[in-house]
Chain A
Amino acid sequence: MGAYILRRLLLVIPTLIGIMIINFALIQFVPGGPIEQIIAQLEGQGDVFEGISGGGSEIGGANDGNGYVGGQGLPPEFIAELEREFGFDKPPLERFLNMMWNYVRLDFGESWFRKISVFGLVMEKMPVSITLGLWSTLIAYMVSIPLGIKKAVRDGTPFDTWTSGAIIVGYAIPGFLFAILLIVVFAGGSYWRLFPLRGLTSANFEDLSLIGKVLDYLWHITLPVLASTISAFATLTLLTKNSFLDEIKKQYVITAKAKGLSEKAVLYGHVFRNAMLIVISGFPALFIGVFFGGSLIIETLFSLDGLGRLGFEAAVARDYPVVFGTLFAFSLIGLVVGILTDLTYVFIDPRIDFEARG
């Protein structure tokens, strides 16, 4: 087992380096970097960002392939100084190695456009991500597990068929469409104006009492959490249902029933702990999802400032330290969670052996 874990961990290194190289190379060849962004601002063309969020116009200016020579109207010394400031006076390879060396030491640097460290920036966005992740996961589990059990017990009945149909449709329709519907109906003002349109808390949040704060928070998060939860039911419900179905057919269930235990006692005392193993094995991924969950569109729709928006805005504004820092950190987390999930399977069910396969 130790050798297996070690091998998996060692494989993370080339993968991570591969991801970084590909993305770094990609950005080298692309016109329109942070310097063009600044030049555009200084020359009064508005920022490059605007053209993008306006939807449609071209990104960035011209680039002749060796360094940034986009700003003909500005003194060359000024551009040289900008390049030095952003580190573009060094060759790409040196920049890449520097960056990787910093990342290995978990030093993610500072955003180019806001004087805040990348780590601090991510921390700043965490409240939104935790809100969306935590609540939608909680609701998904609280609904899906009982529903899955009920569906397993009543397998094949119309109830089973229709709930399957409903959750599968919920899964197929992208969450942001539900969000639009919820906004139009409950926040748009055409029908009801029950919920706020934007933000995580009201403007006067600081002045509220503790209970007021809690209510205000819950009031703000209802719609976004609802919209991001609907698609989460399907996988978990059907997983629960199938693993219950598998277990219910087993001998020990018959034994338990034969000795006169009630239906409830059999289901929750005996079947539950066996059937839930497969659900539990998803916990490492779940845990990460709770903290780093984020959907760009849901966040945009509800004017929340979370990780989804951060990544998108950094990419559009060419804030490379943020782009690469988050890419490195989240890829690393993702790869490690993949390994942890596999290990949880083995821990829960020792019959699974990843070493023997293939």
Chain B
Amino acid sequence: MIRLSPLNQRRWRNFKRNRRAVWALIIFGVLFGMSLFAEVIANDKPIMVSYRGELRMPIVSFYSEQDFGGDFPTEAGYKDIEVECLIVTGGLVDCFDEPGALIAAVDAGQTLVGDFYKGWVLWPVIPYSYNTIVDVPGVAPSPPSSDNWLGTDDTKRDVVARVIYGFRLSVIFALIVTVVSSVVGIVAGAVQGYFGGWTDLLFQRFIEIWTGMPSLYVIIIVFAILGRSFWLLVFLTVLFGWPALVGVVRAEFLRARNLEYVRAAKALGVRDRTIMFRHMLPNAMVATVTMLPFLVTGAIATLASLDFLGFGLPSSAPSLGEMTLQAKQNLQAPWLGFTAFFTFAIMLSLLVFIFEGVRDAFDPRKTFIADGKVDKMQTTFDTVEAENR
């Protein structure tokens, strides 16, 4: 267990006092924790198979059909009734003739003649992965059923499985983008505000030029040249996302650079870097943390919009934005639209509530208030507005 400093203990207490944030954190933690194990929850391969007394885990290892007594050296199609029969009977040759009858017999507890060895298959809760083509009759976006709880999308992939994988992907994307662009933005804002003068003037112009670039266009171009990938998209989002924090950090540093403690540190001959990051940054952190809820949700929204426009992740990725596009293209399938909306709504609300709690916990104006009711949004919008000025 890490020992927290008294200040951090106080922050933690403050965070816990915000019940909405605590509940959001718990719910989000459970959802995200579960989605981290998406492969075990939603997969088109069984978690575990017992074949002739030997335990095998198809979700981690490769087994050919031959390994189960079949004909092909390719990966076993666990969904095929023949393969299922081979597993539960221990590889009886009769499985190729009448698999259904044999499975029924095994289920009924009969012992079969020949080289019989009873086996079993343990499936994940959702027996589809995000890219599994579901074998159901009917036209492509098929409605919710007992097999596909939220129906399928227009290429017959299970919506629940896609939501689970897409949720994980969106959250991981948002967290990476937020952390990296915060670090870059803080350093840039700190340098700008601390040195002021010409540095500040030139840097401001640079940021004006930078934000004047049509980012969507650049993303399209770069993808056309380099191909799409998750990390390239992370890089590009950071590339256009970091100026978001520069304004507030710069303002804090501009304000603090003439304060006594900074002058004292300078007079003592402390290095610029130490003054900036050890002495001034903790004071600028509040402004930074204030922007956090919107950095996180902004990153998710960016990913969703790009996917929606068809310029986001590779088309094979489990993308919630793509589901939104499908919802628009298949208005006869309302389950797609509802799923997309509520997945985003729940994910973004939880994140906003959590990071609001974090921000309040870090706010020195509130850290030392015992029980005062303070508006939670106030600081955020003070800063957002200051930024807009």
Contacts and interface: CB of A to CB of B under 8 A. Distances in A.
Whether chain B is bound by chain A comes out as yes
A333 to B, nearest CB: 12
Given A183-B328, A184-B337, A297-B309, A31 B225 contact: yes
Interface in B331-389: 331-332, 334, 337-338, 340-341, 344-345, 348-349, 351-353, 356, 373, 375-378, 380-382, 384-385, 388-389
Contact of B327 (A184, A278, A282, A315): A184
B290 to A, nearest CB: 12
Chain B contact patch, size range: 35 or more
A15 B349 contact: no
Contact of A296 (B208, B209, B309, B376): B309
Interface stretch (B53-61, B175-183, B300-308): B300-308
B173 to A, nearest CB: 15
Nearest to B336: A184
A3 B377 CA distance: 38
A164 B337 contact: no
A160 B375 CA distance: 8
Given A242-B382, A331-B212, A358-B196, A316 B373 contact: no
B341 A177 contact: yes
Contacts of A32: 224
Interface stretch (B33-41, B72-80, B215-223): B215-223
- The DSSP consensus for interface residues of chain A is helix
Contact of B304 (A58, A160, A174): A174
B286 to A, nearest CB: 16
Contact of A316 (B197, B205, B220): B220
Given A19-B213, A59-B220, A296-B309, A169 B348 contact: yes
Contact of A297 (B214, B308, B373): B308
A296 to B, nearest CB: 7
B254 interface: yes
A251 interface: no
A341 B214 CA distance: 23
A337 to B, nearest CB: 11
B324 interface: yes
B279 to A, nearest CB: 20
B20 interface: yes
A52 interface: yes
B282 interface: no
B216 A180 contact: no
A143 B217 CA distance: 35
B217 A315 contact: yes
Interface in A39-83: 52-53, 55-56, 58-60
A181 to B, nearest CB: 5
Contacts of B327: 180, 184
Interface in A137-186: 155-156, 160-161, 164-165, 168-169, 171-174, 176-178, 180-181, 183-185
B170 interface: no
A19 B18 CA distance: 45
Interface string B309-340: 11000010000000010011001101001101
Interface stretch (A85-93, A116-124, A187-195, A211-219): A187-195
B89 interface: no
A169 B209 contact: no
A6 interface: no
B293 interface: yes
A220 interface: no
Contact of A18 (B205, B297, B337, B376): B205
A168 B334 CA distance: 26
Nearest to B315: A56
A177 B381 contact: no
Nearest to B330: A188
Given A155-B375, A177-B341, A296-B309, A357 B254 contact: yes
Contacts of A173: 297, 301, 344-345, 348-349
Nearest to B297: A172
B200 interface: yes
Contacts of B334: 184-185, 188, 190-191
B308 A176 contact: yes
Contacts of B349: 169, 172-173
A323 B388 CA distance: 26
Contacts of B309: 296-297, 300
Contacts of A126: none
B344 A56 contact: no
A235 interface: yes
Contacts of B221: 26, 30, 59
Contacts of A345: 389
Nearest to A315: B217
Contacts of A297: 305, 308-309
Nearest to A55: B310
A26 B310 CA distance: 22
Given A26-B221, A169-B345, A184-B338, A235 B205 contact: no
Nearest to B349: A169
Nearest to A326: B214
A161 B18 CA distance: 12
Contact of B338 (A164, A174, A181): A181
B287 to A, nearest CB: 16
Given A174-B301, A177-B324, A177-B345, A315 B216 contact: yes
Given A19-B213, A168-B356, A180 B310 contact: no
Contacts of B341: 177-178, 180-181
Contacts of B331: 183-184, 187-190, 197
A55 B214 CA distance: 19
A292 to B, nearest CB: 15
Contacts of A58: 224
Given A22-B209, A177-B344, 9 more contacts: A23-B213, A56-B315, A156-B373, A172-B297, A241-B378, A242-B375, A297-B308, A315-B216, A327-B212
13 contacts: A15-B209, A55-B310, A56-B315, A164-B375, A169-B345, A172-B349, A173-B297, A176-B304, A184-B331, A188-B332, A245-B375, A315-B214, A341-B389
Interface of B: 20, 196-197, 200-201, 205-206, 208-209, 212-214, 216-218, 220-221, 224-225, 254, 293-294, 297, 301, 304-305, 308-310, 315, 324, 327-328, 331-332, 334, 337-338, 340-341, 344-345, 348-349, 351-353, 356, 373, 375-378, 380-382, 384-385, 388-389
